[in-house]
Amino acid sequence: MKIIETGLSGLYIIEPRIFNDQRGYFFESYNKDTLSAAGIDYTFVQDNQSKSVYGVIRGLHYQMEPKAQAKLIRVLSGLIYDVAVDMRQGSPTFGKWFGLELSCENQKQLLIPRGFAHGFSVLSEKAVIFYKCDEFYAPEYDAGVIFNDPDLNIGWKIPADKALLSAKDSGLPLFKKAKNNFTFGK
């Protein structure tokens, strides 16, 4: 398993070692000991899966403290553009974002620490996304940032006229107005 730093503290790309042969492939998608040896120590308590069609943009979502969630994201089928935004006040990368294509072909994963907003756009006809969380879903701590915030200027790789959003995601606040009780280093 290869762990790659992204330039945003605590945000990592995880590349599994894939064993291919004429039967197909095998890889280890998660190993607590391997991550712990790299200084990444989460205890995941909930797995989530979603299926979306081309053009869907989900996010940007997060849970406030004390119910903030770290997430390990991967794609079971299809292709997405996965995005994480640093919401941690005092962070040298506060307000910066990182995006990465995740697919069933590249098998890359994105490990998103607490204090980041997360979202993705679906670039294939359909996509199935699977992610682990280290905190249970707590709707009373649910928060988010509008996907098209002009200050963030995220390129979602979807034409504006093809974007599909939920009513909830369409009504999220701008980054500057979003609820935020994250502090860098805590």
pLDDT tens sequence across 83-135: 999 999 999 999 999 999 999 999 999 999 999 999 999 999 999 999 999 99
Q: 42, 61, 62, 81: which one is catalytic?
A: 61
Ordered by start, the domain boundaries in the chain are 2-177
Give the full edge-to-edge strand order of the sheet including 142-144. 97-103, 79-86, 116-122, 57-63, 142-144
Domain boundaries 2-177, CATH class: mainly beta
- Position 159 scores a pLDDT of 95
Q: What is the mean pLDDT of residues 61-78?
A: 98
Check: pTM over 0.85? Answer yes or no: yes
In this structure, what token pair is assigned to residue 8? 């945003």
Residue 62: active-site member: no
In which residue are the tokens 């992610």 written? Answer: 131
Residue 118: active-site member: no
Q: 62, 131, 137, 141: which one is catalytic?
A: 131
Q: What is the mean pLDDT of residues 39-43?
A: 94
